[in-house]
Chain A
Amino acid sequence: MSKLKKAFLIKYGEIALKGKNRYIFENILVEHIRRTVKHCGDFKVSKEQGRIFIEPFSDYDYEEVIERLSKIFGIVGICPVIVLDDMDFELVKQSALEYMKDEYEDFNFTFKVDARRADKRYPLNSMEIACEVGAYLLDNIPQLKVDVKKPQVKVWVEIRSRAYIYSKVIKGLGGMPVGSNGKAMLMLSGGIDSPVAGYLVAKRGVKLDAVYYHSHPYTSDRAKQKVIDLAKIVSKYSGRINLNVVPFTDIQLYIYEQCPHEQLTIIMRRIMMIIAEKIAEKNGALALVTGESIGQVASQTIQSLTTTNAVCNMPVFRPLIGFDKQEIVEISEKIETYETSILPYEDCCTIFVAKHPVTKPSLKSIIRSEKRLEKIDEMIEEAINNIELVKIKPDEEE
C-alpha cells in the first residue's frame, strides 16, 4: 500500500473564461462539490488558482466519489492526484516514480512529463522540472518510451503551494454549475422528452422547479409516481426540485365540454402554459422549459407551437426543438431516465386526444373557442390553490 497522499483535482471549463464574476461561479461549484462528496466521507474542498482540490481525511469509496462528481455540471475533468506537502525536488521525483508504479501495471506505452510551476520561487523552471522528472522515470522504468508530440500517457507535475502529480483525467459533464444562471420551471410529463429538456437546461447552470398536471382518475397514482421518480433522477444532476402537482381533471373536462375536440390539445397546452407561468412567477423562476421538438406530434408543429407560445410572456426554453426522437432517447438512456419514461402509465396529454387534432391551428379560432371557457380563470386559480408540492431531493441528500 502506497503512502502517497491522494486527492482529486477538479478542472472546470467555461467558468475559467469568466471575468470579474468568476469567483461567484467558482464558489457555487465548490459548494456543489462539498455537498456531494460529504456523503462519501470527510473531505476538504478548496479553491486554488483555477483548480479545485478535494482532499480526503477519512476512508471513502473511490468509485462512488468519481460517480458523484461526474454528475456535477461545471466540471470538465476529474483527476485523481497525489499531493506533496514537502516540495523537495528529490522527493518530487521519487513520488512521481511511486505514483507511476501504483497506477500502471505494465509500462508498454509512450509518455511525456508536463510540468507547471505556479510558484515562481521554486528553484527549477517548468521545463527543467519536466526534463528531470522524465529522465528519472526513464532511468527507473526502462520499458517506458518518450514521445513529446503524441504521448499515450501525459504525466502532470504541478508546483503550487504544494506539489501535485497526476496522469488521468476522467471526463466530467461540462456545462455550468446549477444555480449560477437563475431558475426555470420545467413542464414535466411522464414521457421521454421533458426530463431530457430539464437536464439540458440544468446543464447551463439553471436551477429547476417542475410542474406536473395530474388528471386523476383519468391518470393513475402510478403515473404520478412515475413523474416523481423522473424528477428524482433529474435531481441527481440538477439538485433539489420543487415539483408542483396541479390537479388538472376539472379543467380538462371543462375544455372537453366546451371546445371543439380537434382543438383540445392546443387549448389544454395553452392553459398549462398559463398555469406554469403563474407558478413560476410565484416561485421566482424566470423561464419555462418544455420538451417540445418541431413536428413530433400535432401539438408541436410550428403553427401549434406559435399558438401555444402566444399565451405566455416568459421566455420558453425548448432545448430539444431540433432534436430527432432517437437523439432524445440516447440522452435519456445516458442520464438514466429512459427506463422510467417508458413505463406504460398514461399522462394527462394522452387521455383526451382527438382522432384528428388540428395541426395548423389559427390563433384567432383558438381564441374564439377559448371565449366559451367563462369559468376558466376561477378554475385556474383553484387548481393553483390546490397544488400538491412534492420536494424532490437527490438520494445523497436524504
Chain B
Amino acid sequence: MEIYLDNGATTRPFEEAINLMCKVFGQDYGNPSSLHKKGFQAEKYILKSKDIFSKILKVNKKEIYFTSGGTESNNLAILGIANAYKRTGKHIITTAIEHSSVKNTINYLGDNDYEITVLPVDSDGLIDLEQLRRNIRKDTILVSIMHVNNEIGTIMPIEEIGKIIKEKNSETVFHVDAIQSFGKLKIYPKKYNIDILSISGHKFHAPKGIGVIYINDNIKINPIIYGGFQQNGIRSGTENVPGIAAVGYAAERMYDNIDCNVKNLYKLKEHLANRIINEIPDTYVNGIQVDKGAPHILSIRFDKLRGEVLLHSLEEKDIFVSTGSACSSNKPSKTGPLQGIGLSNEEALSTIRFSFCINNTIEELDTCVEELKKIVPVLRKFVRH
C-alpha cells in the first residue's frame, strides 16, 4: 500500500475535483469571454469559484484573480507592485527563508536597481518583529513574507506583521505567500492588513496549473502578462476554466471542516514526531516546536545519514517523503530555510520532511515508523568518511 507523506510538494486531487474538471473540459468548454450561452456557462464556473474564495477570505469577489499557479501569483505580486510603485520608492523587505519563487523574483529586482532588505530568522524560523519595524522606511514599497514555511513549517505572525507595517508606513504593500497555509489555516486579508495573497491549487487537492491571487482593490498593480484584457487586464489570457472550477471546489471542501481537519493534522504530526524522536536515537525536530508549527509539515533530522538515501530506502517500501523543498530537490541549496535557521550543511542534508494531508492515517504513520526503525540503523552503518 502506498503511503504518501509528501503533501507539501503536491497533493492528490479530490476525485470530485477531477470529475468536475473532466466535465468542464468535455462539455462546458466555452470561452468565458464569448457572448453566447456556451461562453456564459463557462463564465459561471469562474463566478462561482470567485464567490467561494471571497467568502473564505472574507474579501470582495472582484479582488480574486486566477493565475497558472503559485509561482505566477508570487511573480505577479512582486513584479506588479515593483513596477507600479517605482516612482514612490524602490525598497523591498523580505525574509531569509522565502520560497524560491519569491526569493528569485526579489533577487532579480535587486539586480535591477531596487534595494532589498532580507530579514534573518531565528532558530525557530521566525523574524524579529522589532527589526522589521526598524527597517520599514518611507520608500519601502513592498514587504513580502510567507505565511507558512514549506520546509520547516514555521508560521509567521502575519497579523502582527501586518499591523506593524501599516503603523510604520500605510502606503507599504504587504504581500503574503500563503501557498503552504491556505487550506490549513484561516487567513483574513482585510483583518490582517494583507494587500496581496498568493495561493496554489495543487497544495490542497486541486489540480496543478491553477493559482489564485487576492489583490486589494485599493492598491495599484501592473500586469506581468499582457493580452486580451481578461480579469480586468491584471491577468490576461483565456481563463483555465476547468482548473478554476476544481480549485473552487477543493477550497470549499477544505474550509468546510477546517477546525476538525487542523486538529486531525496536528494529531498525525505529533504522533509521528513523538514516535520518531522517542524510538529512533539521534533524531531531532528542525525549527519550531511541533505544536507551534504548521499542522501538516514536520521536518526531522536523522543525524549521521543522508536524507536522500533514507528517502530512496522508504520509496522501496512505497513510502514517499521529501528531503526538503521538492522544487529544489535536484539541487542541494546552500541557502535554504534549513541553513537559515542555523543548521550546518551536513545537518540540512540529513533532513527529511514529512508532510501530511487529511487522508493520512495513524496506521500509515505507524507503518512508516516501523520501517524507519529498520532502515535507519542499517543506513547509519554506512556513512562517508
Interface residues, chain A, CB within 8 Å of chain B? 216-221, 253, 256-257, 261, 344, 351-355
Contact = CB atoms under 8 A, between A and B. Distances in A.
Contacts of B311: 217
B171 to A, nearest CB: 44
A352 B309 contact: no
Contact of B312 (A217, A256, A257, A261): A217
Contacts of B331: 344
B382 A253 contact: yes
A355 B383 CA distance: 12
A7 to B, nearest CB: 48
Contact of A216 (B312, B382, B385): B312
B312 A352 contact: no
Contacts, number: 30
SS of B interface (majority): helix
B385 A355 contact: yes
Contact of B384 (A253, A344, A353): A353
A352 B311 CA distance: 17
Q: Which of A216, A217, A351, A352 has the most CB of B within 10 A?
A: A217
B385 A257 contact: no
Nearest to B313: A217
Given A218-B309, A220-B308, A261 B385 contact: yes
B330 A218 contact: no
Contacts of B330: 344
A355 B385 CA distance: 6
B308 A352 contact: no
A217 B382 contact: no
B382 A256 contact: yes
B381 A257 contact: yes
Contacts of B291: none
B329 to A, nearest CB: 10
B385 A218 contact: no
A217 to B, nearest CB: 3
Contacts of A216: 312, 316
Contacts of A352: 382, 384
Contacts of B316: 216-217
B366 interface: no
Contacts of A221: 312
B279 interface: no
A352 B305 CA distance: 12
B312 A218 contact: yes
Interface string B313-333: 101100000000000001100
B315 A217 contact: yes
A217 B323 CA distance: 14
B223 to A, nearest CB: 35
B385 A354 contact: yes
25 contacts: A216-B312, A216-B316, A217-B309, A217-B310, A217-B311, A217-B312, A217-B313, A217-B315, A217-B316, A218-B312, A218-B382, A219-B312, A220-B312, A221-B312, A253-B381, A253-B382, A256-B382, A257-B381, A344-B331, A351-B384, A352-B382, A352-B384, A353-B384, A355-B384, A355-B385
Interface in B304-359: 308-313, 315-316, 330-331
